[in-house]
């Protein structure tokens, strides 16, 4: 089969399309015939080795984590899927950009709803799972206020929708041109990150601070800028690296691991 492969840590110019043996579904697995695959910034980091201290990979690396297509065959013991079923999947650190890939039956594999094209479905798994993990980590509940920084990005658009579906009052960062878009996703208010300090604009809308900040842009000590938007006793969560303590407090418990594992603080 054809696959997009990195044989070592390399630049994008070093990634090649090559022939590999077609994988076989083992017990509890399905063979996915890939119709569409999606790439994310983490895929680039895995190719170049920029995050090898945190996410080392084995080479040759079949690029990509998000795929959609149909089930080609099922492994021993699989009863919930059958050949021809339309599906979407998170393949782990590798395997998506290929003619075929293998996925274990479980939370990283789902049947694709009727009417959802493979090209759209392939954009869901990694970003959608990350947003789900972040909101579970902070325990967002109905009636709480949440600021989503990076709301128009891949993870952010899911964070806005999922937070709104939980009944939260969502404030999303967006330019005026994107304001109607994020409101259509469920945001109640917007903050123009190009028009001034995001925290100051947020505090003008919620003077006592929001219950939760989901920051998809800042990392490390720069998270202090949006931490100021959180009320006393509120929560801040980031999918990126950051300090393990905040204001002398221990980090809040996180949810069960879904890639990537979030860093969470209580302020």
Distance in angstroms (rounded) separating the CA atoms of residues 62 and 52:
16
Q: What is the pLDDT of residue 76?
A: 97
Take residue 4 and report the two structure tokens written for it. Answer: 């997009």
CA angle (257, 87, 62) in 5-degree steps: 65
φ/ψ (deg, to 5) at 72: -90, -40
Q: What is the pLDDT of residue 253?
A: 33
Length of the chain: 267
pLDDT(263) > 90:
no
pLDDT tens-digit series, residues 162-196: 999 999 999 999 999 999 999 999 999 999 999 99
pLDDT tens-digit series, residues 69-120: 999 999 999 999 999 999 999 999 899 999 999 999 999 999 999 999 999 9
pLDDT tens-digit series, residues 117-173: 999 999 999 999 999 999 999 999 999 999 999 999 999 999 999 999 999 999 999
Residues 76, 45 contacting (CB under 8 angstroms):
no
Establish whether the linkage from the previous residue to 210 is cis, with ω within 30° of 0.
Answer: no
pTM of the model as a whole:
0.83
User: Residue 12 has what DSSP assignment?
Assistant: G
Q: What is the pLDDT of residue 67?
A: 98
Q: What is the pLDDT of residue 239?
A: 87
Confidence of residue 249 (pLDDT cuts 50, 70, 90): very low
Give every CB contact of residue 173 below 8 A, 6+ residues apart in sequence.
147, 148, 149, 150, 151, 152, 156, 190, 191, 192, 193, 198
pLDDT(21) > 90:
yes
């Amino acid at each position: 089969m054809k696959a997009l492969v990195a044989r070592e840590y390399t630049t994008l110019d070093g990634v090649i399309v090559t022939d590999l043996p077609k994988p076989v579904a083992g017990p509890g697995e399905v063979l996915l015939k890939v119709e569409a695959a999606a790439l994310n910034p983490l895929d680039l980091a895995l190719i170049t080795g920029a995050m090898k201290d945190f996410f080392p990979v084995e080479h040759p690396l079949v690029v990509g984590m998000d795929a959609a297509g149909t089930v080609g065959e099922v492994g021993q013991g699989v009863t919930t899927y059958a050949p021809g079923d339309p599906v979407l999947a998170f393949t782990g650190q590798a395997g998506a950009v290929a003619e075929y890939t293998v996925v274990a039956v479980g939370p990283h594999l789902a049947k694709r709803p009727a009417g959802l094209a493979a090209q759209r479905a392939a954009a869901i798994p990694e970003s959608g799972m990350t947003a789900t993990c972040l909101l579970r980590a902070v325990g967002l509940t109905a009636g709480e206020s949440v600021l989503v920084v990076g709301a128009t990005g891949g993870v952010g658009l899911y964070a806005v929708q999922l937070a709104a579906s939980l009944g939260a009052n969502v404030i999303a960062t967006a330019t005026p041109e994107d304001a109607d878009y994020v409101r259509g996703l469920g945001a109640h208010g917007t903050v123009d990150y190009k028009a001034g300090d995001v925290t100051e604009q947020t505090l003008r809308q919620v003077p006592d601070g929001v219950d939760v900040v989901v920051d998809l842009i800042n990392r490390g000590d720069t998270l202090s800028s949006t931490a100021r938007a959180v009320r006393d006793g509120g929560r801040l969560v980031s999918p990126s690296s950051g300090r393990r303590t905040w204001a002398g407090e221990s980090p809040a418990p996180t949810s069960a691991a879904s890639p990537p594992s979030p860093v969470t603080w209580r302020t």
